[in-house]
Chain A
């Protein structure tokens, strides 16, 4: 592990990654080191132990995130309660409406549960354990609880920007888009990948990201919107002719794209010379 001055020759900031995380000074940079030379005095700790230092830091650092998030969630709840006890609408205070009370109660539950997890995990870390499992659970739960709490607080404050503009809440990823946050984060990962047309695989460096890829697979394998059939036969009885016959008979509603260089049509559908030439658009049933 080294400390390298930013103006050291050979060190270049290739780009500042445009991240949702706006809460860090300087942002997340991609750094390129080209023949950078530094002296012994730049070494932090012992040589060859950098990765270990970084990893030791990971568990507790997760908890500092959680503490920060808990603070933001707590502050959001306070703002919401302040708003709910002051704002009068349709003849009563917001806080007297059952649905608002439920939002506040749900926030209290999320806050209390987050706090309890933090206490327990930190005690585990203090006892010297690595606490991998507990820190993972805590980070996942508290980050999601934060989303829920702020979201509910926004519902209580309505369109007023004063919650969203509050400095505490501004450290949230994409705080300015908070009211829309829920929807966008849910759809972004899959949408992105599909739009790029990039690999959508079950394997990711040996790891298997289960639900996202599996759901994508489910949709693409079992719910395709178009089906091209390479080598499709005009004869509905032949092995390569049957699928089109079945698709028509059982009522498949998507596009059927026969690919057969020898024919103009296959079982009454216009055929394409090869898959590259298929437009998919002209074929509709």
Chain B
């Protein structure tokens, strides 16, 4: 632990390295988060790490808590009370310190044990992804939680996420900076760059990362994941004390993509034998308030729901139950012990004390149906996640040819390709285009059309024009030479009117009618090459139907 001020931290780090200390934690703030002067000091820390091999957590962090060996190298006041650390299946990494420890105390209150909590702060050396990677190897950890403001190394993050998915440890992430204002705030907080949110979203989708929007959803999901139980499908059995609460839960479940399907007649008849005649055996199942006075009733109804083959998880919805709640709690606990399926309780009214008892006993209990089903939906989605992307090999591509086209444009001082050049780049990667020839004059265009075969399209060809149809620069389905000559004349005039002085035309064979799609690619500063696919055509910006994913893509279903 290096507890000295920022300006003395580099010397202390050097001394540690000289002593052979393998890992140091720097508490001080006053680094990249305060501006250029602090950033220089932080660079110095990174240099020391690189030169000496010492690893550094922080600076601007409040350390870590590792429960197994009671390693509490932190000044977090969350440890001010108590004498034992509530160990458990969760490994939690936070880039933010105080906020992270407030989540820690919430986890404790929710009865969720944490094996390791690590605050990475400014990440001069060790970053959240590297710590999470280490935690994927920790036998005490089976659920990973992360509060992130930015991703320092996209490649490392992806490897980590892939590894977590491979070893079956779900990773729940709260990643801030969804809004532009939020992203700005991030850079002044821990000096991170938030990165483009849509790209992070797509990476999360591709690699099975469970991204949630805030602390409550993270806790709700963690509570469920910490039980180690998984859903094999989206089907719920909803058992409620009140018909109204059951309906509300069912609505919320369906809105979250879960299924509350009516049981078939045989199973309804069996349930009707268990519950009072004024209940409903259909699913949602109204067990009725009789369950308070007849503790046995809930147990028998639960047993039947556990036995029902089309049920992937059970939701029990309770309202004001206080007197007699002990027997209800006991019945729920015993039922949970008898099954490997998730059993969650929504306890809407009352004092909240029975809910705490249940939570402490490892039965996830929520105060609101919406939160319970959102957590279940995420769990179901985790089971149903797409396979991890493989990395295909291509042996029919010619990057050198593509590079030559781009180099030529660069040499001419351009940073945009015209359509013909774009087609050449695509051809180098084996992506076919409708046959096309460039032309300078109406006569030349007609000759090109004759060579390609009618019908053809005539399009304006210039590296200065991105959106051709807005300029009147596209004429379709031209069936003879005079039509091509006319179209060419008009397109060139439209170009001249718009002040485009280098315009030629591209004569292209008409493609058969079909669905228009857009494909795009760009280099994301954090994650590298990203591919976009979606509906194409002139309304592309309006429709906004698109999917993002990291290259390289393999056949499979889209994510994000």
Which of A99-107, A142-150, A162-170, A238-246 is the contact stretch?
A238-246
CB pair A210 B1 closer than 8 Å = no
A-B CB contact pairs (8 Å), 28 listed:
A130-B395, A133-B393, A200-B53, A200-B55, A201-B49, A201-B55, A202-B126, A208-B159, A217-B55, A218-B137, A223-B71, A228-B16, A228-B21, A230-B3, A230-B15, A231-B2, A231-B12, A232-B1, A239-B75, A240-B3, A240-B75, A243-B72, A247-B72, A250-B83, A251-B83, A252-B72, A253-B70, A254-B69
Q: Is B74 an interface residue (CB 8 A)?
A: yes
Q: What sequence of 0s and 1s flags, for each residue 220-234 of chain A, a beta carbon within 8 Å of any chain B beta carbon?
A: 111110011111110
CA distance A230 to B4 in the complex (A): 7
**Chain B residues, Cβ within 8 Å of A274:** 15
Question: Which chain B residues in 236-264 approach chain A with CB under 8 Å?
Answer: none
Q: Is A161 an interface residue (CB 8 A)?
A: no
Question: Which chain B residues in 151-184 approach chain A with CB under 8 Å?
Answer: 155-156, 159, 163
CB pair B3 A276 closer than 8 Å = no
Using known A-B contacts A198-B53, A200-B53, A276-B19, determine if residue A246 contacts B72 with beta carbons closer than 8 Å.
yes
Which of B128-136, B313-321, B464-472, B484-492 is the contact stretch?
B128-136
CA distance A250 to B126 in the complex (A): 26
Using known A-B contacts A197-B20, A222-B66, A224-B23, determine if residue A129 contacts B138 with beta carbons closer than 8 Å.
no
Q: Is B22 an interface residue (CB 8 A)?
A: yes
Q: Which of B27, B50, B84, B134 has the most CB of A within 10 A?
A: B134
Q: Is B63 an interface residue (CB 8 A)?
A: yes
CB pair B69 A253 closer than 8 Å = yes
Q: Is B116 an interface residue (CB 8 A)?
A: yes
Residue from B2, B52, B79 within 8 A of A250 (CB atoms)? B79
CA distance A246 to B84 in the complex (A): 10
Q: Is B270 an interface residue (CB 8 A)?
A: no
Residue from B57, B70, B395 within 8 A of A252 (CB atoms)? B70
Q: Is B85 an interface residue (CB 8 A)?
A: yes
Q: Is B410 an interface residue (CB 8 A)?
A: no
CB pair B133 A243 closer than 8 Å = no
CB pair B55 A231 closer than 8 Å = no
Residue from B3, B135, B137 within 8 A of A229 (CB atoms)? B3
CA distance A218 to B74 in the complex (A): 17
Using known A-B contacts A221-B118, A230-B12, determine if residue A252 contacts B133 with beta carbons closer than 8 Å.
no
Shortest beta-carbon distance from A198 to chain B in Å: 6
Q: Is B18 an interface residue (CB 8 A)?
A: yes
CA distance A127 to B206 in the complex (A): 32
CB pair B79 A246 closer than 8 Å = yes
Q: Is A182 an interface residue (CB 8 A)?
A: no
CA distance A219 to B447 in the complex (A): 74
CA distance A200 to B21 in the complex (A): 11
**Chain B residues, Cβ within 8 Å of A199:** 52-53
Residue of A nearest to B130 (CB): A202
Shortest beta-carbon distance from B159 to chain A in Å: 6
Q: Is B64 an interface residue (CB 8 A)?
A: yes
CA distance A227 to B18 in the complex (A): 16
CA distance A223 to B156 in the complex (A): 23
Q: Which of A202, A211, A239 has the most CB of B within 10 A?
A: A202
Shortest beta-carbon distance from A49 to chain B in Å: 15
Q: Is A249 an interface residue (CB 8 A)?
A: yes
CB pair B1 A243 closer than 8 Å = yes
Question: Which chain B residues in 1-54 approach chain A with CB under 8 Å?
Answer: 1-4, 12, 15-16, 18-23, 27, 49-50, 52-53
CB pair B21 A242 closer than 8 Å = no
Using known A-B contacts A129-B395, A202-B130, A227-B1, determine if residue A222 contacts B71 with beta carbons closer than 8 Å.
yes
CB pair A251 B21 closer than 8 Å = no
CB pair A210 B133 closer than 8 Å = yes
Residue from B3, B53, B163 within 8 A of A232 (CB atoms)? B3
Number of interface residues of A (CB under 8 A): 45
CA distance A217 to B116 in the complex (A): 13
Residue of A nearest to B391 (CB): A133
Using known A-B contacts A202-B130, A220-B22, A221-B134, determine if residue A229 contacts B70 with beta carbons closer than 8 Å.
no
Using known A-B contacts A222-B138, A231-B3, A275-B21, determine if residue A210 contacts B159 with beta carbons closer than 8 Å.
yes
5 closest cross-chain pairs (CB), A and B? A199-B53, A231-B3, A240-B3, A246-B72, A222-B66
Residue of B nearest to A193 (CB): B53
Q: Is A215 an interface residue (CB 8 A)?
A: yes
**Chain A residues, Cβ within 8 Å of B4:** 230-231
Using known A-B contacts A243-B1, A274-B15, A275-B15, determine if residue A217 contacts B134 with beta carbons closer than 8 Å.
yes
Residue from A221, A243, A276 within 8 A of B74 (CB atoms)? A243
**Chain A residues, Cβ within 8 Å of B155:** 208
Residue of B nearest to A134 (CB): B393
CB pair B137 A275 closer than 8 Å = no
**Chain A residues, Cβ within 8 Å of B3:** 229-233, 239-240, 243
**Chain A residues, Cβ within 8 Å of B64:** 221-222
Using known A-B contacts A221-B118, A227-B71, determine if residue A239 contacts B27 with beta carbons closer than 8 Å.
yes
Shortest beta-carbon distance from A245 to chain B in Å: 9
CA distance A214 to B126 in the complex (A): 11
Using known A-B contacts A200-B22, A230-B1, A243-B75, determine if residue A130 contacts B53 with beta carbons closer than 8 Å.
no
Using known A-B contacts A220-B55, A243-B1, determine if residue A250 contacts B84 with beta carbons closer than 8 Å.
yes
Q: Which of A217, A221, A253 has the most CB of B within 10 A?
A: A221
Shortest beta-carbon distance from B146 to chain A in Å: 16
Q: Is A132 an interface residue (CB 8 A)?
A: yes
Q: Which of B68, B72, B85 has the most CB of A within 10 A?
A: B72
**Chain A residues, Cβ within 8 Å of B126:** 202, 217, 221
**Chain A residues, Cβ within 8 Å of B52:** 199
CB pair A246 B74 closer than 8 Å = yes
CB pair B70 A247 closer than 8 Å = yes
Residue of B nearest to A249 (CB): B83
CA distance A242 to B63 in the complex (A): 12
CA distance A278 to B21 in the complex (A): 12
- Known A-B contacts: A208-B159, A217-B23, A243-B72. Give 4 more (CB < 8 A): A233-B3, A247-B71, A250-B70, A275-B16
Shortest beta-carbon distance from B132 to chain A in Å: 9
CA distance A206 to B156 in the complex (A): 11
Shortest beta-carbon distance from B119 to chain A in Å: 12
CA distance A13 to B520 in the complex (A): 54
CA distance A201 to B85 in the complex (A): 30
Residue from B1, B2, B130 within 8 A of A217 (CB atoms)? B130
CA distance A214 to B163 in the complex (A): 12
CA distance A239 to B25 in the complex (A): 14
Residue from B23, B156, B163 within 8 A of A221 (CB atoms)? B23
CA distance A220 to B23 in the complex (A): 7
Q: Is B73 an interface residue (CB 8 A)?
A: yes
**Chain B residues, Cβ within 8 Å of A224:** 23, 69, 71
